[in-house]
Structure 1
Amino acid sequence: MSADALAVAGLQPFSSVDFPGRLAAVVFLQGCPWRCGYCHNADLQPRGQGGGPRWPALRDWLARRLGRLDGVVFSGGEPTLDPALPAVLDQLREMGYALGLHTAGLAPRRLAALLPRLDWVGLDVKAAPADAGLHDRITGRRGSLHAVRESLALLQRSGVEFECRTTVHPRWFTDADLLRLVSELAAVPRHALQLARLPDEAGTLRAPVGWPSPALLAQARAIRPDLLLRLG
């Protein structure tokens, strides 16, 4: 498909945290079939053209930013579902950009086609790789974990740098669930827990207070000493 058909939903012009080691722009793409309860980009879930700049204008803007930026990350939504993304990545690679991707791993065949074009991937693992029930409850879709396991296996074989990250909150995760998650992902190169921020009674987004507790975090880091903890 032509790169011009890319369904751009939005742009973050500058980020120092979305692509490790790179100063990057983040391009958000429209469309995701999952309905995660903590999703902060729910407006990007429906399929469609997206309300962001059209790709030709965005491509020209990125060409002018090369040198100030050294990377471009595609996020969403679920960017692997956009059939125009391979052509877009090829154009950016030709410009000289390093390329990153945020994905939930729900389309392993599409991910396999993208991996040779990418320098880094952030894989959103919603629950422990063997906990299909919790994964289904979080995503709102039954049978959703099989594709994630396949995507993780692809990444482990690919040689492409990647990290796994999991958005966690006591509304969905018990202490035991969190420890199981950390244990089952102990062999991946990098794993980050992202604390979900949910709206309080006033509508303000807030992270959970006092969770994970210092004792629980110590147990998790006994399994994986380099475990990262971030605000989601």
Structure 2
Amino acid sequence: MADGPRIGGLARFSGIDWPGRLVATVFCQGCPWACPYCHNAHLIPVQGEAEWAWAEVRAFLERRRGLLDGVVFSGGEPTLHPALPEAVRAVRAMGFEVGLHSGGPWPDRLAALLPDLDWVGFDVKAPFARYGEVTGVAGSGDKARDSLRRLIDSRVAFEVRTTLHPDLLDDAALDQLAAELLALGVRRLVLQPARPTAEAPVTAPFPALSADRAAAFESVETRA
């Protein structure tokens, strides 16, 4: 495949982007949402020239066969790219497991990818009716909820994680979000305190999940 997704960066080795796996992480450019705490904000616009050509990434991965467990496509939002499904299949053909980081803005695109994925890290931003307060896009919560439903139904391994920012989620909103996730069938939740950015400095205590709500999950992990 000569062309692939636009790539803004490559982490040659990561032990954190897919828990329990040693992976390379491919950062795709472009995202339809603009969460103020995003630490890959430089990837939100799709640049005219990718920092990495897909051919370079493939050549690197060929040299890592047998040394890495898998490859994670992250971003940005990888499902923005029409070339992503072919890139995923190419990576699988090399013998790697394939993971995806996504917020689910395009449910149909995610659903089409799921048969070729081994794991998904799914980002949930807020109670679904309040998504626009975080993403800046009206109706984004409906897309995310639909994507999460399809992911759960697919039986592909996944983790759901939520970034905690006190200006975007308070205790009540976090409890509401947890209730919505439980109703969908999510049983494990990862909470990630936001790292401050110029757009979203952290000036108050992080929101906390109530003990009763946390007890309803099989596990709630706080990850720095």
Q: TM-score, normalised by structure 2?
A: 0.91
Question: Which piece of structure 1 moves more, 4-13 or 45-54?
Answer: 45-54
Deviations 1:29-76 (A, max 9, x none): 010111111111111111235542211111011011111111000011
Deviations 1:152-181 (A, max 9, x none): 111111110111111111111111111111
Question: Which piece of structure 1 moves more, 187-196 or 61-70?
Answer: 187-196
1:223 is the counterpart of 2:221: no
The secondary structure found in structure 1 opposite 2:146 is helix
CA-CA distance at 1:3 after TM superposition: 5.4
Matches within 5 A, 1:138-157: 138-157=134-153
- For 2:28 and 2:107, the matched residues in 1 are separated by 18
Equivalences, count? 222
Mapped contact 1:196–1:208 kept (Cα < 8 A): no
Deviations 1:82-102 (A, max 9, x none): 111111111111110000000
Mapped contact 2:118–2:157 kept (Cα < 8 A): yes
Q: TM-score, normalised by structure 1?
A: 0.88
Question: Residue type of the partner of 2:170?
Answer: T
- For 2:214 and 2:179, the matched residues in 1 are separated by 10
CA distance 1:119–1:101, shift in 2 (3 Å): same
Mapped contact 1:100–1:118 kept (Cα < 8 A): yes
Correspondence for 1:28: 27
Correspondence for 1:162: 158
Mapped contact 1:30–1:50 kept (Cα < 8 A): no
Correspondence for 1:194: 192
Correspondence for 1:173: 169
1:37 is the counterpart of 2:27: no
Mapped contact 1:169–1:208 kept (Cα < 8 A): no
Mapped contact 1:103–1:122 kept (Cα < 8 A): yes
Deviations 1:189-227 (A, max 9, x none): 421111111147xx9x976664346xx553442333511
- For 1:24 and 1:206, the matched residues in 2 are separated by 31
- For 2:205 and 2:142, the matched residues in 1 are separated by 33
Matches within 5 A, 1:92-103: 92-103=91-102
Any gaps of 5 or more consecutive residues in structure 1? none
- For 1:14 and 1:208, the matched residues in 2 are separated by 33
CA distance 1:175–1:50, shift in 2 (3 Å): farther
Correspondence for 1:211: 206
The secondary structure found in structure 2 opposite 1:34 is coil
CA-CA distance at 1:7 after TM superposition: 0.3
Any gaps of 5 or more consecutive residues in structure 2? none
Question: Residue type of the partner of 1:177?
Answer: A
The secondary structure found in structure 1 opposite 2:131 is helix
- For 1:188 and 1:3, the matched residues in 2 are separated by 39
Question: Residue type of the partner of 1:118?
Answer: L
CA-CA distance at 1:8 after TM superposition: 0.7
Correspondence for 1:86: 85
Question: Residue type of the partner of 2:206?
Answer: W
Question: Residue type of the partner of 1:194?
Answer: Q
The secondary structure found in structure 1 opposite 2:59 is helix
The secondary structure found in structure 1 opposite 2:3 is helix
CA distance 1:135–1:3, shift in 2 (3 Å): farther
Question: Residue type of the partner of 2:162?
Answer: T
- The alignment's C-alpha RMSD in Å is 2.1
Deviations 1:101-144 (A, max 9, x none): 00010011111111111000011111123xx1x21110011111
- For 1:211 and 1:225, the matched residues in 2 are separated by 22
